[in-house]
């Protein structure tokens, strides 16, 4: 007598049914954000924001406390720019958890731009270190690692960006910067940032130094430093080496 064949599991129906209708619940991959928001609110920060930050002229739209809280959330989840708010807005469960939607990138930029006051900047320049006659412009490019898909690979292999920054070494003040993709080498056109840095120094400075690493040994920058009639920069005789340049401006 022939033995009966054991049925294959693939011949049996599934033990559940597939419902093609979408679930009414909302999901989120940012379940830890409410804990941060709860701490933000329990510390009384929204009230402090309302007390000290007053830039809205109309009642419509997001209030200042909501904007500040949204930026806190953006920073906590790894956001790197205002455009990343768009990714948060694509998460429907997040707004349900924190009680409000995060702003669009355009609204976020408009909020930040309202803090810019050119008059205050000029006023600060006039008051800043009147006795500081020496300024060393220290210029360097720094790799900032990023996991964004648009970030390009740096010479070290990881994805990220490589902005150029120039600071006033004696005062620890940023003078100029230039945002750059990760694959832009540090030796690419450093003169642009150098000119901006020297132009940002107050008129009280009479002795200038320039300092940079090997990436700053670029012909355009070196020739500009050697020229006593530096276009768009301080003029005067110079004394320099490969790593540090000094020149004095005969300002009255």
The reported pLDDT for the residue numbered 179 is 92
**Quick check: 179 and 161 in contact, CB under 8 A?**
yes
Taking each continuous run of H as one helix and of E as one strand, the counts in the chain are: 9, 9
The reported pLDDT for the residue numbered 48 is 94
Query: Could you tell me the residue ranges of all domains in the chain?
Result: 30-113, 124-248
**Quick check: 145 and 160 in contact, CB under 8 A?**
yes
Q: Which residues of the chain are modeled with pLDDT < 50?
A: 239-243, 248-252
Q: What is the DSSP letter of 154?
A: -
CA distance 213 to 210: 10
| pTM of model > 0.75 | no
């Amino acid at each position: 007598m022939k033995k009966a064949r054991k049925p294959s599991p693939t011949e049996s129906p599934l033990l559940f049914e597939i419902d093609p209708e979408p679930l009414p619940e909302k999901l989120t991959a940012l379940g830890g954000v409410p804990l941060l928001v709860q701490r933000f609110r329990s510390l009384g920060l929204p009230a402090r924001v309302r007390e000290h930050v007053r830039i809205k002229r109309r009642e419509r739209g997001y209030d200042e406390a909501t904007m500040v809280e949204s930026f806190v959330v953006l920073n906590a989840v790894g956001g790197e720019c205002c455009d990343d708010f768009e990714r948060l807005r694509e998460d429907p469960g997040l707004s349900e958890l924190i009680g409000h939607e995060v702003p669009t990138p355009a609204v976020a930029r408009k909020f930040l731009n309202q803090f810019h006051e050119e008059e205050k900047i000029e006023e600060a320049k006039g008051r800043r270190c009147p006795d500081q006659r020496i300024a060393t412009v220290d210029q360097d490019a720094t790799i900032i690692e990023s996991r964004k898909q648009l970030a390009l690979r740096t010479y070290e292999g990881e994805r990220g960006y490589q902005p150029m920054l120039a600071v006033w070494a004696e005062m620890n003040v940023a003078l100029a910067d230039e945002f750059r993709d990760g694959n832009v080498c540090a030796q690419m056109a450093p003169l642009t940032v150098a000119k901006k840095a020297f132009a940002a120094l107050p008129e009280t400075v009479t002795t200038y130094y320039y300092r940079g690493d090997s990436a700053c040994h670029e012909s355009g920058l070196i020739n500009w430093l050697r020229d006593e009639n530096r276009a768009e920069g301080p003029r005067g005789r110079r004394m320099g080496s490969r790593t540090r340049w000094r020149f004095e401006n005969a300002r009255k």
